[in-house]
Amino acid sequence: MIPKLGSCYYPEHWPEEQWRKDAEDMIASGLSWVRIGEFAWSRIEPKEDVHNFDWLDRAISILGSAGLNIVMSTPTATPPRWVVDKWPDMLIVDAEGRARRSGSRRHYCFSHEGYLGEAIRISEIVAKRYGSNPFIKAWQLDNEYGCHDTTLSYSDSALKAFRVWTSKKYKTIDQLNESWKNVFWSMEYIDFEQIQLPNLTVTDPNPIHALDFKRFSSDQVVKFNRSQSQILKKYTQAPLIHNYMGRITDFDHYEVGKDLDIASWDSYPLGFLEDRSNRSEDFKSKFMRFGDLDFQSFHHDLYRSVGNGRWWVMEQQPGPVNWAPYNPEPAEGAVRLWTWEAIAHGAEVVSYFRWRQAPFAQEQMHAGLNRPDGAKAPGLKEASKVFAELNNFDGIDQVQSKVALIFDYESCWAWDVLPQGKDFSYFELVYDYYRALRSLGLSIDIVSPNESNLSGYQVLLMPGLMHVGEQLESAIKGFDGVVISGPRTGSKTLDMSIPENLPPVVPRINGTVARVETLRPNALIPIQNHGFFKKWMETLVDCDEIIEFCDDGRPAIIGDGKNLYIAGWADQGTLKVIFSGVCSDQGIQTTELIDCVRVRDTLNHRFWFNFSEEEVAVGSIKIPASGVFWEQL
Ligand code: GAL
């Protein structure tokens, strides 16, 4: 596969006379894809049933004739004001019960039937018009589901739909009472119509009530997306794509992905470091111009899995963004570095956000590939450099990794509902495992918790997985590699209770979690010959085999050499020792990397990345400052 580059473009933001030159400049810069239309609803349908497609017809024809492949979008992330006036109760409602307002974007509630109808209607109109347009080579549905905290809605529509959802799931109210164990605190219902949403309760709602609400909310996203994909498939053969976001876990992306052909995500390394990372201040200062070096690749690997092997970066940060607490400029070379990294992880297309910085409205301070006056911004030169470098390759193809790491959205929700200690985050736990693996020079596949085929893998990691489902259980039973689990793996039933025989309910692990404790930030539990546990610690008893102990005598790692259960949240050093030991037993080579270097293997190449402004050496390999080095395998 030869990866391609592209950019996001808004013809409606610029005078028509400029479109042709913009298109020609894109081509001259090495870009061959352009995404349009995702926010253009008020221009294509300024009033109910009044349509104005002429300008868009011309834009598509100009961009396409210049040689660009177009990603057309459905505009449903930005319902215009007249739609809100028509359906005043379509607005998303926050947990405090306040309707969020129009005037920005994503203000709709996924459960509002009227809005769902509008979204299907406008998608069909756009699909009918452009479904067979030869310049349109892919479709984007909506824009960034869940972004700006927009998955969960506590509206009347959500309440109504949740009651239907629970009645379908549990069939009878007695069954729901039994599964939810509503006898606790006299929460029993006599009718589904009595069920409320789990917000504004005096103290915690029943965790299964909250978890089911999250499952329901995720299903609403899946349903919304499916309704558009079904319409689009009637009118187009082109692949369907959604652009997911970084660290948004409120809906099950694997499930949404089943109705699409390609996954994509919007990669803003510097924005994410400042806005949604728990790394230390020192780390943030050190990497302020590169971003957290594992965060992007984690999402690349995740979305490769969500897209079943096919994925893009739909929006790549090209310069300073506007939305994080601090918005530094990328290091010189960082845009090229991020692009190469995405390519090494399998991106078919890397598309930059956006072609030209808008001098107006909310994102006027957000850089583009070009300045508002049309002059080239630094990111464009770096994109063009990647384009030129791609000529050195006959193809860049992916190869299955030896190590698989499970990421499970349901576990995110479960531990969000029942963290037990304020620092417990499933995302952070899995991410810590990922970081340790990556800093050992390993390439990782992220897999879904419903994976049924583990062949080809030698190591499977599943920290914090709340429940091992039947499919995974049978896959593990037939798996002859090493399985690493814990803490918290297999510790809940699907009804969010403690399993009858106590956790961990993990195939091939014999032991019992007798108690758990969560720890203050400065309370560390030393592990013999290793580092320490932090945040979370389990007291395991009745273990068949104990591999390591804590200084206080409690088991730290149990199992045999092929099945390991880790009893707490281990520090990076400990994880690295455990993982490198397992890899060496399996004949998998590891290399301890310095903190600014990462490596990724593809079928025929090894790519080395340097996230620092100094040249670094790894053995005989020299990686230029802010650079990438590749070698043939
Ligand atoms: C993304 C979004 C774009 C733009 C961009 C700015 O989240 O999809 O429309 O807002 O962020 O960084």
**What is the whole-number distance in angstroms between the Cα of residue 160 and the centre of ligand 1?**
32
Q: What's the pLDDT at 529? A: 86
Q: Which residues contact 184 (CB under 8 A, 6 or more apart)?
A: 206
Residues facing 618 on adjacent strands: 621
Mean pLDDT by 10 residues, the chain (633 residues): 97 98 98 98 97 98 98 98 98 98 98 98 98 98 98 98 98 98 98 98 98 99 98 98 98 98 98 96 98 98 98 98 98 98 98 98 98 98 98 96 98 98 97 98 98 96 98 96 98 98 96 98 95 98 96 97 96 98 98 97 98 96 97 95
Residues 333, 284: contact at Cβ < 8 Å? no
Q: Where are the alpha helices (DSSP H) in 369-493?
A: 378-390, 409-417, 426-438, 470-477
Distances (CA, A) of 385 to 337, 379, 380, 390, 561: 11, 10, 9, 9, 47
**What is the whole-number distance in angstroms between the Cα of residue 241 and the centre of ligand 1?**
16
Residues facing 462 on adjacent strands: 485
Sketch the domain layout of the chain as residue ranges. Answer: 403-585, 600-632
**What is the whole-number distance in angstroms between the Cα of residue 89 and the centre of ligand 1?**
26
**What is the whole-number distance in angstroms between the Cα of residue 198 and the centre of ligand 1?**
30
Question: Distance between CA 213 and CA 207 in Å, rounded?
Answer: 10
Q: Which atom of ligand 1 is nearest to the CA of 243?
A: 8
Question: Distance between CA 227 and CA 233 in Å, rounded?
Answer: 10
Torsion sign, CA atoms 525, 529, 531, 533: negative
Question: Distance between CA 320 and CA 368 in Å, rounded?
Answer: 9
**What is the whole-number distance in angstroms between the Cα of residue 609 and the centre of ligand 1?**
26
Question: Distance between CA 61 and CA 67 in Å, rounded?
Answer: 10
Q: Any idea which architecture 403-585 has in CATH?
A: 3-Layer(aba) Sandwich (3.40)
Tokens of 167: 């009645």
Q: Which residue's CA is minimally distant from atom 5 of ligand 1?
A: 353
**What is the whole-number distance in angstroms between the Cα of residue 57 and the centre of ligand 1?**
24
Q: What's the pLDDT at 561? A: 86
Q: Which residue's CA is minimally distant from atom 1 of ligand 1?
A: 266
Q: Which atom of ligand 1 is nearest to the CA of 39?
A: 9
DSSP strand pairing (311-316 vs 262-267): parallel
Q: Which residue's CA is minimally distant from atom 10 of ligand 1?
A: 363
- Exposure string for 75-95, b = 16+ CB within 10 A, e = fewer: bbbbbbeebbeebeebbbbbe
Question: Distance between CA 134 and CA 446 in Å, rounded?
Answer: 35
**Helix, strand, coil fractions of the chain, as percent rounded to 5:** 35, 20, 45
Q: Which residue's CA is minimally distant from atom 12 of ligand 1?
A: 321
Which helix (H) or strand (E) segment holds residue 158: the answer is: helix 156-170
Pocket test residue of 36, 144, 356 for ligand 1, highest count of atoms within 8 A of CB? 144
**What is the whole-number distance in angstroms between the Cα of residue 301 and the centre of ligand 1?**
21
**What is the whole-number distance in angstroms between the Cα of residue 267 and the centre of ligand 1?**
10
Q: Which atom of ligand 1 is nearest to the CA of 144?
A: 8
Question: Distance between CA 404 and CA 406 in Å, rounded?
Answer: 7
**What is the whole-number distance in angstroms between the Cα of residue 284 and the centre of ligand 1?**
22
Q: Which residue's CA is minimally distant from atom 11 of ligand 1?
A: 266
Residues 223, 142: contact at Cβ < 8 Å? no
Q: Which atom of ligand 1 is nearest to the CA of 245?
A: 7
Residues 74, 128: contact at Cβ < 8 Å? no
Q: Which atom of ligand 1 is nearest to the CA of 353?
A: 5
Rg (C-alpha) for the chain, rounded Å, is: 25
**What is the whole-number distance in angstroms between the Cα of residue 538 and the centre of ligand 1?**
41
Tokens of 220: 């609403």
**What is the whole-number distance in angstroms between the Cα of residue 144 and the centre of ligand 1?**
8
Active site residue ranges: 144, 315
Pocket test residue of 299, 315, 363 for ligand 1, highest count of atoms within 8 A of CB? 315
What phi, psi does 402 have (nearest 5°)? Answer: -90, -15
Q: Which atom of ligand 1 is nearest to the CA of 268?
A: 12
Q: Would you list the DSSP string of 348-377?
A: SEEEES-SB--SSSTTTTS--SB-TTSPBP
Q: Which residue's CA is minimally distant from atom 4 of ligand 1?
A: 353
Largest CA distance in the chain: 76
Q: Would you list the DSSP string of 534-550?
A: EEEEEEEES-S-EEEEB
SS3 state at 490:
coil
Q: Which atom of ligand 1 is nearest to the CA of 322?
A: 12
Question: Distance between CA 172 and CA 178 in Å, rounded?
Answer: 10
Residues facing 446 on adjacent strands: 405
Q: Which atom of ligand 1 is nearest to the CA of 314?
A: 8
Residues 600, 607: contact at Cβ < 8 Å? yes
Q: What is the DSSP letter of 576?
A: H
Residues with CB under 6 A from ligand 1: 143-144, 147, 266, 268, 315, 321, 323, 353, 363, 366
Pocket test residue of 7, 353, 360 for ligand 1, highest count of atoms within 8 A of CB? 353
Q: What's the pLDDT at 309? A: 98
Pocket test residue of 242, 363, 369 for ligand 1, highest count of atoms within 8 A of CB? 363
Residues 572, 544: contact at Cβ < 8 Å? no
Tokens of 335: 């845009």
